[in-house]
A and B are shown apart, each in its own frame.
Chain A
Amino acid sequence: DSGVTQTPKHLITATGQRVTLRCSPRSGDLSVYWYQQSLDQGLQFLIQYYNGEERAKGNILERFSAQQFPDLHSELNLSSLELGDSALYFCASSASQDEQFFGPGTRLTVL
């Protein structure tokens, strides 16, 4: 158990819809990272937040957005969903820039 929690575990929705994925980092970790992993693909870095502020952006689509709240939990919002957005979405947290602790992921299925 990494100490990072993600909800929901599974999410099934339809094209065009909007969903919100939630992540609670390890106690004390200020950084939160979001990754997308499509079937049999590597991890694609989406975005990083540090203590409530956006720190870095990776390959995140304009239809996607994220935020980190004062209690340090983070949400990833995915809108106008397409079939290709079906993937595992991982959240990770860290206290430093180096080692990241990953959550169990949210499996999103877009039908």
Chain B
Amino acid sequence: LAKTTQPISMDSYEGQEVNITCSHNNIATNDYITWYQQFPSQGPRFIIQGYKTKVTNEVASLFIPADRKSSTLSLPRVSLSDTAVYYCLVGENNFNKFYFGSGTKLNVKP
């Protein structure tokens, strides 16, 4: 079971870059790393997914070191609307079980 560990909460200001790190020491060879965003009383929404090195899309970047025991979600120039809980997810490929981490509550201040 690839358990994940994230900071419980983070504060930031509008316009700043935010980096949220997730530890997953027991990640398996075939596991991908996926990040989701969740607003209160809504279902989580996919942000980005990666396997190794760096992945970038229109909303975020994902940095994964060579040992893959951690990953960092980078949100450029956050706004108030980025205030949400961010979950790091490591797929347990063999058994198709998806365990969300505790999530990081990001609070963006004006």
Q: Which A residues lie at the B interface, using CB under 8 A? A: 2, 4, 31, 33, 35, 42-43, 45, 48, 50, 55-56, 58, 88, 90, 92, 97-105, 107
CB neighbours of A33 from chain B (8 A): 98
In the complex, what distance in Å separates the CA atom of A65 from the CA atom of B8? Answer: 32
Nearest A residue (CB) for B30: A97
Can you name 5 A-B pairs with beta carbons within 8 Å? A42-B101, A42-B102, A45-B98, A104-B42, A107-B41
The bracket for how many chain B residues form the interface is 20 to 34
Q: Beyond A48-B97, A55-B96: 12 further Cβ-contacts under 8 Å?
A: A43-B87, A43-B100, A45-B97, A50-B96, A56-B95, A56-B96, A58-B97, A90-B44, A97-B93, A98-B32, A103-B43, A105-B42
Nearest B residue (CB) for A4: B43
Q: Are A92 and B43 in contact (CB under 8 A)?
A: yes
Query: How many contacting A-B pairs (Cβ < 8 A)?
Result: 56
In the complex, what distance in Å separates the CA atom of A102 from the CA atom of B43? Answer: 5
Q: Are B87 and A88 in contact (CB under 8 A)?
A: no
Going nearest first, the 10 A-B pairs with the smallest beta carbon separation are: A102-B43, A43-B100, A56-B96, A56-B97, A99-B46, A90-B43, A102-B44, A55-B96, A42-B102, A42-B103
Summarize B's interface: helix, strand, loop or mixed: loop
Nearest B residue (CB) for A91: B43
Q: Which B residues lie at the A interface, using CB under 8 A? A: 32, 34, 41-46, 49, 87, 91, 93, 95-103
A21 to chain B, nearest CB (A): 13
In the complex, what distance in Å separates the CA atom of A102 from the CA atom of B34? Answer: 14
A98-B32, A98-B49, A98-B91 are contacts. A42–B43 as well, Cβ < 8 Å? no
Q: Are A100 and B42 in contact (CB under 8 A)?
A: no
Nearest B residue (CB) for A43: B100
Q: Which of B43, B46, B96 contacts A97 (CB 8 A)?
A: B96
A98-B34, A99-B34, A100-B98 are contacts. A43–B93 as well, Cβ < 8 Å? no
A89 to chain B, nearest CB (A): 10
